[in-house]
């Protein structure tokens, strides 16, 4: 019988919350509190009881009647003033709603990781604008006038002399113009390219540039720094290779690949960054004496690193803002 009383209370709560007019209120009153209503029926049943638990049941039943009557009167009063029951009547026995807690996007998480590793290697952080001059983005970096990267296919030009930066390397120019060597900084940020969207490329992505300028700098130091970085990001056993390459602003230049194996797929080499010794022409362009100073630089794509790290196969997923995808990578 106790169960029946409990059910009556919850049924009453549900019904009173859903009602919309005072007519329905009267129907509820008759149903629960009327002479032949549910409560008086329960009292009739109660009188016929003989067991030991009769006092407890009696107490519960009385309390239920008081509760229902009170709630009914409360709702009745409010209805007179035109408010709906659900507007003011809060059922404290309902389970709470889970609140959604935000989390960092995978790109931010990866960026944070990269920044932390380089912080540990003594690099500070420097930032430049996304809207750049053609001079900083290309000319000062030793790109010849007819270099294909200047082509309208690749670069979002804003005017003849300004563009959305196509890489973070122009921040090197800004840093070297603003501060005197020795320099040791990373420069994270967004870059833009006018490319056809596909699983592998997007018109916007993030890079982290690195620059070190000092008196005795060698390629071996550049190599040591990048190997240490790769081992911290991908684990001590990561398999890597330095492959000779070309960039207008570094000489010699190299690209770093890491060996990537995914379960069930054949392993392959994947490029993660470009690097090299700063070309003396670039140092001259910013007023640093190339006879006295040597520099090394590197630049890496953050999306590529995130895709590798989490085994994601389509870069567009990183920009879709689909919560079902993003919540798989919640970091605490
Ligand atoms: N800026 C180059 C790119 O976007 C990467 C790079 C940076 C290479 C610094 C060498 C030195 O591909």
Which residues are bridge partners to 107 per DSSP?
none
Ligand 1 atom closest to the Cα of residue 273 is: 5
Strands, sheet with 294-301, edge to edge from the N-terminal-most edge strand = 124-125, 183-192, 204-214, 294-301, 268-278, 250-260, 240-247
Asked whether 297 and 210 are in contact (CB, 8 A), the reply is yes
Q: Where are the beta strands (DSSP E) in the chain?
A: 124-125, 131-133, 162-164, 183-192, 204-214, 240-247, 250-260, 268-278, 294-301
Please name the CATH architecture into which domain 106-329 falls. 2-Layer Sandwich (3.30)
Query: Residue 49 carries which DSSP code?
Result: -
Q: Which two tokens stand for residue 52?
A: 């030991």
From 142, 169, 176, 205, mutation site for ligand 1 pocket: most ligand atoms within 8 A of C-beta? 169
The distance of Cα 264 from the centroid of its chain, to the nearest Å, equals 28
Measured in Å, residue 130 CA sits from the centre of ligand 1 at 16
Ligand 1 atom closest to the Cα of residue 166 is: 4
Phi, psi of 93 (to 5 degrees): -85, -10
Measured in Å, residue 262 CA sits from the centre of ligand 1 at 27
pLDDT for the residue 1: 87
Q: List residues near ligand 1 (CB under 6 A).
A: 167, 169, 209, 247, 250, 274-276, 297-299
**Strand, helix or coil at 331?**
coil
Q: Quick count: other Cβ atoms within 10 Å of Cβ 70?
A: 10
Over its length of 332 residues, how does the chain's per-residue pLDDT go in tens digits? 889 999 999 998 888 877 777 778 888 889 999 999 999 999 999 999 888 889 989 999 999 999 999 888 888 877 776 666 666 667 788 888 888 778 899 999 999 999 999 999 999 999 999 999 999 999 999 998 888 777 766 899 999 999 999 999 999 999 999 999 999 999 999 999 998 888 888 999 999 999 999 999 999 999 999 999 999 998 999 999 999 999 999 999 999 999 988 777 788 898 999 999 999 999 999 999 999 999 999 999 999 888 888 888 889 999 998 989 988 888 76
Q: How far apart are CA 51 and CA 308, in angstroms?
A: 71
The distance of Cα 305 from the centroid of its chain, to the nearest Å, equals 15
Measured in Å, residue 74 CA sits from the centre of ligand 1 at 72
Ligand 1 atom closest to the Cα of residue 168 is: 1
Which residues are bridge partners to 316 per DSSP?
none
Residue 212: closest CA among 113, 289, 124, 287: 124
Domains of the chain, residue spans: 2-87, 106-329
The answer for residues whose C-beta is within 8 angstroms of residue 33's C-beta and 6 or more apart is 39, 68, 69, 72
pLDDT for the residue 266: 86
Give the closest residue (by CA) to ligand 1 atom 6: 299
Which residues are bridge partners to 295 per DSSP?
213
Phi, psi of 160 (to 5 degrees): -65, -35
Measured in Å, residue 255 CA sits from the centre of ligand 1 at 9
Give the closest residue (by CA) to ligand 1 atom 5: 299
* Radius of gyration for the alpha carbons in the chain, expressed in angstroms and rounded: 35
3-state helix, strand, coil in the chain (%, to 5): 45, 20, 35
From 171, 206, 299, mutation site for ligand 1 pocket: most ligand atoms within 8 A of C-beta? 299
Measured in Å, residue 245 CA sits from the centre of ligand 1 at 11
pLDDT for the residue 293: 98
Q: How far apart are CA 7 and CA 3, in angstroms?
A: 6
Asked whether 191 and 165 are in contact (CB, 8 A), the reply is yes
The distance of Cα 301 from the centroid of its chain, to the nearest Å, equals 17
Measured in Å, residue 115 CA sits from the centre of ligand 1 at 17
Give the closest residue (by CA) to ligand 1 atom 4: 167
The answer for residues whose C-beta is within 8 angstroms of residue 44's C-beta and 6 or more apart is none
- Helices 54-80 and 22-33: crossing angle, nearest 10°? 170
Measured in Å, residue 251 CA sits from the centre of ligand 1 at 12
pLDDT for the residue 286: 97
Ligand 1 atom closest to the Cα of residue 169 is: 1
């Amino acid at each position: 019988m106790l169960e029946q009383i409990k059910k009556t209370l919850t049924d009453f709560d549900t019904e009173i919350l859903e009602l919309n007019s005072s007519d329905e209120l009267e129907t509820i009153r008759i149903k629960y509190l009327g002479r032949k209503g549910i409560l008086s029926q329960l009292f009739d049943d109660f009188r016929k009881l003989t067991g030991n638990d009769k006092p407890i049941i009696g107490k519960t039943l009385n309390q239920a009647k008081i509760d229902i009557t009170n709630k009914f009167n409360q709702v009745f009063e409010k209805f007179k003033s035109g408010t709906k029951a659900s507007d003011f009547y809060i059922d404290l026995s309902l389970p709470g709603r889970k609140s959604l807690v935000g989390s960092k996007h995978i790109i931010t998480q990866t960026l944070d990781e990269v920044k932390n590793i380089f912080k540990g290697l003594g690099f500070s952080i420097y930032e430049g604008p996304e809207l750049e001059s053609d001079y900083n983005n290309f000319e000062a970096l030793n790109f010849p006038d007819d270099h294909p990267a200047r082509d309208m296919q690749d670069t979002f030009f804003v005017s003849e002399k300004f563009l959305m930066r196509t890489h973070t390397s122009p921040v090197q120019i800004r840093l070297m113009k603003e501060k005197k060597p020795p320099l040791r900084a990373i420069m994270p940020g967004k870059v833009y390219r006018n490319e056809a969207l596909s699983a592998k490329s997007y018109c916007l992505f993030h890079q982290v540039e690195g620059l070190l300028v000092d008196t005795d700098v060698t390629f071996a130091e550049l190599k040591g720094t990048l190997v240490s970085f790769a081992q911290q990001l991908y684990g001590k056993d990561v398999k890597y290779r330095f492959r000779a390459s070309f960039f207008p602003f570094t000489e010699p230049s190299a690209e770093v690949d890491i060996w990537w194996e995914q379960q069930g797929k054949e392993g392959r080499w994947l490029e993660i960054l470009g690097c090299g010794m700063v070309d003396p022409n670039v140092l001259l362009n910013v007023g640093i004496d190339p006879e006295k100073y040597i520099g090394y630089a590197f630049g890496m794509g953050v999306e590529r690193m995130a895709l590798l790290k989490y085994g994601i196969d389509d870069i567009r997923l990183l920009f879709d803002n689909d919560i079902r995808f993003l919540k798989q990578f919640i970091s605490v």
